[in-house]
Amino acid sequence: MILVTPAPDPSTPDASARALQAPIVFDRTGFSDQELLDVYSALLLPRMIEEKMLILLRQNKISKWFSGIGQEAVAVGTTLALRNDDFIFPLHRNLGVFTTRKMPLERLFCQWQGKREGFTKGRDRSFHFGTLEWRIIGMISHLGAMLGVADGVALASNLDGAERICLAYSGDGGASEGDFHEAVNTAAVWDLPVVFLVENNGYGLSTPSSEQFRCKQFIDKAYGYGIQGIQADGNNVLEMITATRYAAEWARKERRPILLEALTFRMRGHEEASGVKYVPKELLERWAAKDPVANYENFLKESGVLTDAHAERLRAEHKRAIEEGLEKMFATPDISAVTESDELDDVYPSGAAPVVHAAGDLSTAPQKRMIDAISEGLFQAMERDPSLVLMGQDIAEYGGVFKITQGFVERFGKQRVRNTPLCESAIIAAGMGLSLAGKRAMVEMQFADFVSCGFNQIINNLAKTHYRWGHAPRVVVRLPTGAGVAAGPFHSQSTEAFFTHVPGLKVVFPATAFDAKGLMTAALADPGPVLYFEHKKMYRSVQDPTPTEYYTVEIGKARVVLEGSDATVVTYGLGVHWALEAAAAHAGRVEIIDLRTLLPWDQTAVFDSVRKTGKCLVLHEDTYTGGFGAEIAATVGERMFAYLDAPVVRVAALDTPVPFNAVLENQFLPAQRFKTALEKMLAY
């Protein structure tokens, strides 16, 4: 049977146009007089702060401002409707979320001005921060990036059997991002209690809605995800409270997501410097008539709930609080330069995974393949830490494409061993959300190549959160990597150098089964995010003595694989085995250093070896240009120049994508070229 669904009639007014035409009608059913006044106070405060900020901006006393004038009812209404332990994920223009949660004004002002007393120590701007104390997780500049994080916090609520939910904001423009689709779809599939709020405010910066999307209203999208949708007048604060209460209770009781669309308008520019010249004057005037603060104030006065005298007293109280907060902020010294160590110390959380030495005589330990060692380390970490949740495509009943998690779901259940939709970004973000809620996550990329689809979450969320506002996501991302298995250009790339440039990440890359297990357990016990690269070709081809008992290998420490006198080879991963093969022809002359950790890498071990041999050759499987070996070579050349008897040499793969044909792939890989380069270096 062929089914055809009609497209919306282009002549039909969209939801925003309908909202503009409809009058604001306040329904006070269920609200006492005092509650109505409390709502007014909460609605008035962010408006008065905004008005003051615009004055200070014109006086050149503050640097930048993202205005939410005209949209206060959305932020205030949603926040009033939630419980205090519910998490909110707001955006630039949701000042009312922060004030309604009664955050100290002076600290907010310090945050906006880049003072050390703000929430990010001057390291980020406006609302780009989180605070677990007030259950608010702010945005980053990449729109949609926090929606998947809300999924993770909501998942933790389900796992804990808690009642808390999440409310995550998206603009209508941000809903065009893939992160919006991934997060809503994942929440629907996993039955997560998230209220996805779309502020439909007419513009994405200067781009009108007609150039952003063709749907007439966002609640139509809910049906496609198999969830419920609800629409409300975003300029009617009572309607926003009522609608949010409905959505929140639905999510809380049914443990399912819901899409809430708030129809409103942005009365000022994306930020003040951009202005609103692109908005028709008539449109601004018509929306100004629907001002959420003025209309609500008039309603209260007409209802006899609010008097002019009460309104003036309230304004005076708010003004006094704002002026006191500003006075404290301006009295706070501007940030002066600090020692470099102060900044560097906040990139990573303090502490490290506890070192657990392998027990017994290693020579009597059973031989294990690398794949089995990884699986065993992961299994034992799951046993030791009940908060650890595994997520990845096909990792549950199927056991993963490489069978590393085979049997895990039978032991730990599908709540902790979770198949995911095909959405790398949302799942990495969910891992961060789990961590914010006190758990730990492991996310498997089916192949390291696919991590490009989750790149933003790793380099901007996982890596920077501790430096920005003091919370390091405890997330391990596993990345099956490498060539040599004739898998072609999209399943064979070495992607480690994508991430060794990013402060805040740790990157490990084992070359033996012993290290594979110990680095896995260490990564899963580390206080911050770790990328764990595991070479597919070595899964079943490499085996060595590996204790069955739990142990760790210290992250950041290299290993001397082979001692020698005449040349140092610095390598990692499959390069260790190429180096061992080549060194066999030069007995006692070649010293091999296996980095094991690429970020941070063990400079001490490398420098000690170079002082001893006077020569350094860097070998890696990744392509030559921009590979991590360039960093090692440059550092050795700079710091060890006085000890070098020959130029530092790099050997790497060809600067091409990884070819599929085995003959071409062997030519691409550096194993043969390395042997020649090593002989030349020894003869130099």
- What are the backbone dihedrals phi and psi of residue 620, each rounded to the nearest 5 degrees, phi first? -150, 160
* Separation between Cα atoms, residue 241 and residue 76, nearest integer Å: 8
Ramachandran bin of 533, using left for φ above 0, alpha for ψ from -120 to 50, beta for the remaining angles = beta
Cα separation, 161 vs 181, whole angstroms: 26
Extract the runs of DSSP E, i.e. beta strands, from 522-678.
530-535, 543-545, 559-562, 567-571, 590-594, 597-599, 616-623, 649-653
CA distance 310 to 3: 61
- What is the greatest pairwise CA distance in the chain? 97
Question: Measuring CA to CA, which residue among 85, 73, 83 is closest to residue 45?
Answer: 73
What are the tokens at 467? 């430096």
CA distance linking residue 505 with residue 110, whole number of Å: 28
Cα 48 to the center of its chain, rounded Å:
33
d(CA 168, CA 174): 12
Whether 181 is catalytic is no
The pair of structure tokens assigned to 347 is: 């990139």
Mark out the alpha helices in 437-472 (DSSP H runs). Answer: 455-456, 465-469
Query: Is the CA virtual torsion 80, 85, 87, 92 positive or negative?
Result: positive
Burial class (CB in 10 A: 0-12, 13-18, 19+), 116: middle
Task: Give the integer Cα–Cα distance in Å for 41 and 51.
Answer: 15
Q: Quote the DSSP letter at residue 402.
A: T
Instruction: Give the DSSP per-residue string, 188-232.
Output: HHHT--EEEEEEE-SEETTEEGGGT---S-THHHHHHHT-EEEEE
Show Cβ contacts of residue 270 under 8 Å, excluding neighbours closer than 6 positions: 66, 203, 205, 206
* Whether 649 contacts 613, CB under 8 Å: no
Q: At a CB cut-off of 8 Å and minimum separation 6, what does 391 contact? A: 418, 420, 427, 430, 431, 441, 442, 443, 444
Strands 616-623 and 567-571: parallel
Catalytically annotated residue among 270, 318, 491, 535: 491
Helix (H, G, I), strand (E, B) or coil at 598: strand
* Enclosing H/E stretch for 440: strand 440-444
Q: Which residue is it, tokens 């940030």?
A: 335
- Among candidates 487, 512, 509, which has minimal Cα distance to 498? 509
3 state DSSP class of 359: coil
Instruction: Check the CA dihedral 118-124-127-133 and report its sign.
Output: negative
Rounded to whole angstroms, how far apart are CA atoms 553 and 596?
9
Positions of E strands within 84-177: 87-89, 130-131, 136-137, 166-171
Beta bridge partners of 167: 88, 195
Q: Which residues of 149-165 are buried (b: 16+ CB within 10 A; e: fewer)?
A: bbbbbbbbbebeeeebb
Question: Do 427 and 152 contact (CB within 8 A), yes or no?
Answer: no
Specify the 3-state DSSP secondary structure of 365.
coil
**Any idea how long the chain is?**
684
Count how many Cα atoms sit within 13 Å of the Cα of residue 336 in the half-sphere of its side chain: 2
Would you name the residues annotated as active-site residues?
A: 491
